[in-house]
Each structure stands twice: as C-alpha cells, then as structure tokens.
Amino acid sequence: MLACRIHSKEDLRVEPAETPSPGPGEVLLKLGAGGICGSDLHYYFEGRNGSFVVREPLIPGHEASAVVAAIGSGVTRVKVGDKVAVSPSHACGRCDYCRDGREQLCVNMRFLGSASLFPHVQGMFREYFVMGERQCYAVSGDVSLGELAFAEPLAVGLHAVNRGGELMGKSVLITGAGTIGCVTVMAARLAGAAKVTVSDILDRPLEQAKRVGADAVLHAQRDAEALAKPQFDITYEVSGSFAALKSCVAAVKRGGVVVQVGTLPHEPLPFVVNEIMAKELDLRGAFRWGIEFDWAVRYLSTRRVDVRPLLSGQYPLQDAVAAFVAAADKTKTTKVQLVCA
C-alpha cells in the first residue's frame, strides 16, 4: 500500500508502507476520500501548523471517509463493505473535560494527522489504516464517499455556531469564505440566523459563499468601510487572519459575541483590548468539535446539508503533491480531496 508522508517543509513523498491489521475492537479501513485542510497545507508548505512543528515524517489527513475492509474480533458497530465517516478525534473519555461533554478539550487528546504530540499521531492520507470501531460512523443511502469526508469540516462549522450561542433572528458575519467559512454559513442557516454575511479577500470564495446560502458578501478591501461599522450580533473569524479578527471586533454590535475559529500565525499580536471592554464583547474560542461530528454525519447522510458545491476536485493519492498545490490556490478551489483508485 501507499502512504503520503511530509518529511519536512515542501518535501512530501508518496511511499510504500506496510498494510496494518486490525486487533480486537479495531477496524481496517480503505481510504474513500480525504479532504486537504488548511492545517495539512501549513504542514506541507511551512513544515509547521501554528506551534505544531513537523519533527518526523508525518502522514497528514484528518478529514476522511473510508470503506470497511476487515474487522477485528468483537467489532459490532460496522461490517465489511460499510461506507463510514472517520472521526479523527481520539479523546480519552476519562478526564474531567471528556466527562463534562467537551472532548475537544481532552487533556489526553490524540488527534489524527497532527504534530501536536511527539511521536506524531499519523493521519489518514494512506491507502489503508486501522481505527478503533468507536471512530467509525457507518451510513447508508447514496451519499458519496467524497461528501462523507466533509463530516469533520462540517462539524467544525456546527461547533463554531454552537459556541456563538442562540442564532434565531440574529445577524452574523463570517470572515473567510473557504470550506470552513462556507460550512459555517450552512450551520448558521440551520440554526436560524436571519442574515448571514461573509467577507473574504478574494472574489471566487465570495461567489462560492453566495452559492451555499450567504445573504450578503463583503470584499475585505473594497468594502472596508462596511466592515468597520458595528452591525452584527455575532461574528466568526474563520480565516486565521489578524486583520479579519480586527474586522470582527469592529463590526460586531455592542454586547455582541466574537468567535475565533481560525488558527492565526504563531506570533504575539498587537491587540487593542479596550474595544472588548467598552463594547462588553464576549471573545470566545471554538476548537474542533465534540458531539457535532455525530450531527454532521447525520446532516450529510440525509443531505439536509448538501456540501457538493464545495468539492472542487479529487486526485489519486499518488498525485498528492499536485493536489496540495491545487488546494492552496484559493482563486481556483475550495475543497480538494485525495482518493484511492
């Protein structure tokens, strides 16, 4: 079998690897589709993602669907041939945060395809991999493996919306119109937002956001004046840009909520806190997701949320480098996936 490994900055190799076999309670999965995420791009183009640095070859990939190839003893949740969404979150289930229902804050978290721990926790950009059955969510119906691989990013959008609080009747701003921005649009509409506005620095992503339900779009430069006017109840910063965070703080109404979803560059930021004080803002973080992954799988499998417009292209695993380059070009693509032939 083949596995895609990032050895260091801009050194990604698709190499032969040993096919693993499932132990008791484990499942052997064949990759269906794996979405390339912003964090995967950071690992490839910079050799790091925020404070997580690649220190040994890392198999990226945490947004994946798969087909069950074999099951170990005692597995009851899935059977051979099942189409599954794979949860990349291995929370311990025992710490105070897990027990409190916030597994994304787990102190013993092992998140797939991440260099946050050493040795790194290897991800899913490989032909075959083994998961605990708890990580596998089988679905029926005609939802494609490509759509199912959106469970993770959709869960991020659902969780961001949950962190922002009640949306019925509210006006919201989402800064960033990539995959996470667009799924946050979908999540905000599900939650009852009255008006969803999206900003970005590029025109193509803004068009994309409109296609998936944004009521209005603002160009970060051309509409800078509108972005400086306090007019939104809740703002979500998903682009990972400090300029966008400043827009979120400026454009939110007094007493409003600002949710930070994106990862900003790993450096100290000059930040004027007085606006948070004087406007009585709530500045909240949204990190990954908890139960929202289960919800995302359900919304996708019934197409209550239809992510098909977000899928820009699929590449065979062997062409991972070309896929990463395509995924980084936001003037042309939203979500690019790797697939197994």
Q: Residue 92, interface with Zn ion (CB under 5 A)?
A: yes
Q: What distances in angstroms separate CA 213 from CA 9, 266, 287, one per listed residue?
A: 36, 32, 24
For residue 68, the minimal CB distance to Zn ion (Å) is 23
Check binding of 160 to Zn ion (CB under 5 A): no
Binder to Zn ion among 53, 95, 130, 216 (CB under 5 A)? Answer: 95
Pairing label, strands 128-132, 136-139: unpaired
Closest CA to 38 of 211, 181, 248, 242: 181
- Which of 139, 148, 175 minimizes the C-alpha distance to 160? 175
In whole angstroms, give the CA distance from residue 84 to residue 137: 5
Nearer to Zn ion by Cβ, of 109 and 167: the residue is 109
Q: Which is nearer to Zn ion, 66 or 68 (CB)?
A: 66
CB of 180 to Zn ion, least distance (A): 8
- Of 144, 147, 143, the C-alpha closest to 183 is 147
Provide, rounded to whole angstroms, the least separation between the CB of residue 40 and Zn ion: 7
When asked if residue 106 is in the footprint of Zn ion (CB under 5 A), the reply is yes
Nearest approach, Cβ of residue 288 and Zn ion (Å): 9
Write each residue from 32 to 71 as x if it is in contact with Zn ion (CB under 5 A), else as -, in one continuous string.
-----x----------------------------------
- Pick between residue 98 and residue 177 the one whose CB is nearest to Zn ion: 98
Of residues 49 and 235, the one with the C-beta less far from Zn ion: 49
Minimum distance of Zn ion from residue 152's CB (angstroms)? 6
CA distance 205 to 227: 17
Looking only at the bridges linking them, the beta strands covering 195-200 and 216-219 are: parallel
Q: How far apart are CA 81 and CA 65, in angstroms?
A: 13
Q: Is residue 154 a contact residue for Zn ion (CB under 5 A)?
A: no
Task: Please give the radius of gyration of the chain, using alpha carbons only, rounded to the nearest integer.
Answer: 20
Does 180 bind Zn ion (CB under 5 A)? Our answer is no
Size of the site for Zn ion (CB under 5 A): 6
Q: Give the count of beta carbons closer than 10 Å to the beta carbon of residue 51.
A: 9
Instruction: Compute the least distance from the CB of residue 61 to Zn ion, in Å.
Output: 9
Spatial distance between the Cα atoms of 157 and 243, rounded to a whole number of angstroms: 21
Binding piece for Zn ion, criterion CB under 5 A, among 92-100, 218-226, 291-299, 308-316? 92-100
Structure tokens at 77: 């949740």
For residue 88, the minimal CB distance to Zn ion (Å) is 8
Assess 98 for contact with Zn ion (CB under 5 A): yes
Is 152:84 a contact under the CB 8 Å cutoff? no
Residues that bind Zn ion (CB under 5 A): 37, 91-92, 95, 98, 106
